[in-house]
Amino acid sequence: MPRIFASLVVANLVCLLGTGALGFISARLGETRHVVLAVFTILLGCFLQVLVFTYFTIAGKLVAQAVHLGQMDTSPLEACKRLKKRLTRLLAGSALSLVLVTATGASAWRGGQFSWPHFLSAAAVVAVHAGVWIGQYTLVVQQAALLETILRQYRQKKGEISSHSGIL
């Protein structure tokens, strides 16, 4: 998952920067292209956030199932919850910045002229998302390592049970 997440982050960053550049020079090319690319960029960003949240949900369920079926220590469950809670805070920052830039952009589009609040909020979106993505990548790597460790322990425990049952 870390590689998939990183690839989608690069794609979303390229779209964000392209949307910003197109918006900056949109007077010559027409605002419609900027708006269409902005909508695509927002949808890609939302897809990325939904994907990462879904990954954390499914990974947490897998960890819980392995811990309960393997009758292992339950501390990894709390670790999963902490990671998901931190991820949710980052998701909120990402969503709020997208709402801000969309609202200022819609206002600028309605006015039909350049808008400093939209320009500044667009720059803020890039900065906020860079911070969010770095934080999320760290959490994704931690979640992936936790999931891998728990599943490895579960397989070992399951192998021990199988080998002992063959003796009887």
Report pLDDT digits (tens) over 115-166.
Answer: 788 888 888 999 999 999 999 999 999 999 999 999 999 988 877 665 555 5
Within a domain: 24 = yes
168 within domain boundaries: no
Decide if pLDDT at 168 tops 50: no
Q: Is the pLDDT of residue 28 over 80?
A: no
Residue 167 in domain: no
Task: Flag whether 132 is in a domain.
Answer: yes
Count Cβ atoms below 10 Å from residue 149 Cβ, excluding itself.
Answer: 12
DSSP string, 60-72: HHHHHHHHHHTT-
How many structural domains comprise the chain?
A: 1
d(C-alpha 9, C-alpha 25), whole Å: 24
Determine contact, residues 38/19, Cβ cutoff 8 Å. Answer: yes
Residue pair 146/60 in contact by the 8 Å Cβ criterion? no
Least confident of 30-39, 105-114, 139-148: 105-114
DSSP 74: S
Non-local CB neighbours of 24 within 8 Å, separated by 6+ positions: 119
- How far apart, in whole angstroms, are the C-alpha atoms of residue 46 and residue 79? 25
Q: Is residue 126 part of a domain?
A: yes
Domain extent for 67: 2-162
Res 3: pLDDT? 92
Give pLDDT, residue 167. 46
Look at residues 165, 146, 139 and name the one whose alpha carbon lies nearest to residue 59: 146
- pTM score: 0.82
